[in-house]
Structure 1
């Protein structure tokens, strides 16, 4: 009995210290901010992107598979360069900014030519944080809108 209690306590402490990961495969689009901040350069930067898929997600970061480790001459991991990430979740598109922290060649196996990239989330786009955290908590279940309560009293 004491062993079970200690085990339960250890599990709850570890869940608070390390965010739980949700394994889910969703399309992901990754690009860098342009060097010159103008509309034309932003559109060019968004079109020079990498399309991949997520492997797992948590409150603090995401893991995704990408066909390349770089976009043009800029590497996705290193130099603390912010990545713009757009994930297509069942409850809508989520935009965030993250920093690439690590990578590994051969994402799904040794014969896979893709790269597994781990990124730490630094900020969210407008309205994206709520949708992302809701997805992590509830998965594919959509948010239920609050029903109106009518008492029929005038």
Structure 2
């Protein structure tokens, strides 16, 4: 009886371990915060409405091992139906810096939607990377796309 109970307990523990480790690990190249959180918790769908809105932990979804938060269930559903449409370009790194082959942190409130893609940018008191991006967006996009492909293979 003791052996049977021990065997069952072991199977339960192994089952738990295997399902909890079955999560897709995120790419090491993505700009993620604590607990694999993207865009510092901002809702990626909200950007397409013209505004950066902080997401809520109760409306979350995982895509490619990355956790995204949303401001509503409706936004969460839109994302899960078409994650590639809403996920930020270049793994969430600054688009201008990516054009130079660099991974630089972003200000999640500094963004631009162009041709249906979400671009995020670094911003400080003294500098706004989006200003540089807008001066030659087509060329910068091409350079950043090439850099991201080399860095992440995407």
Shorter-chain TM-score above 0.5: no
Structure with the larger helix share: 2
Structure with the larger strand share: 1
Normalised to the residue count of structure 2, the TM-score between the two structures is: 0.30
